[in-house]
Chain A
């Protein structure tokens, strides 16, 4: 059974703080993604990685960075959290072979106050 696990379900941070969201998958997937989910806006891609140390910007990378030092772990970093980054963050992973299903984590509800 595929597992994609995000480190926190709920997180409250102050404006200006550096925030780390962690995601771990146990299926040896090459691809990992970070999405942001807001009502009416769907799932917007922030960053994705197709290999260790590789990353590509998605549609809304501003204010975020990522790190992938190990294949199973993909971190999303908010360098200086702002209130407009209050959102649900979803991590996902998929195999690179033949365009296959993406498996999602349970999500992290981040509130920036």
Chain B
């Protein structure tokens, strides 16, 4: 089955710096790669996603890149703010009789210091 590896497990940056979180996946048939943000005590919520026919997607300070050949994708947050502090999860969806089955990485705890 699909396996998603996520690095780093913790990341601390100064306010205004950039943050990068990287994920790799094993199933070359996966074609949907979302990123979720989970603030303390709250449910995970989608912040950005990318499909396999696109190499990069940007939404204000957040961008995601996908390299299908290398089977890795990354989340980039620019001009970080204290409210960006949270746990971020990447995920991948494999095909093959399992529609929409999301497999998650182990998460990255991002701390943005003011």
Contacts and interface: CB of A to CB of B under 8 A. Distances in A.
Interface of A: 30-31, 33, 35, 40-45, 48, 50, 56, 58-59, 90, 92, 94-96, 99-102, 104-107
Contacts of A33: 101-102
B6 interface: yes
A101 B46 contact: yes
Contacts of B1: 59
A110 B99 CA distance: 28
B104 interface: yes
Q: Which are the 7 A-B pairs with shortest beta-carbon distances?
A: A42-B106, A99-B32, A43-B104, A104-B43, A31-B100, A101-B46, A42-B107
Interface of B: 1, 6, 9, 31-32, 34, 43-46, 49, 51, 89, 93, 98-107
Summarize B's interface: helix, strand, loop or mixed.
loop
12 contacts: A31-B100, A42-B107, A50-B99, A56-B98, A94-B102, A96-B100, A99-B100, A102-B102, A104-B43, A104-B44, A104-B45, A105-B43
Contacts of B43: 90, 104-107
Contacts of A31: 99-101
A90 B31 CA distance: 24
A29 to B, nearest CB: 9
Nearest to B31: A99
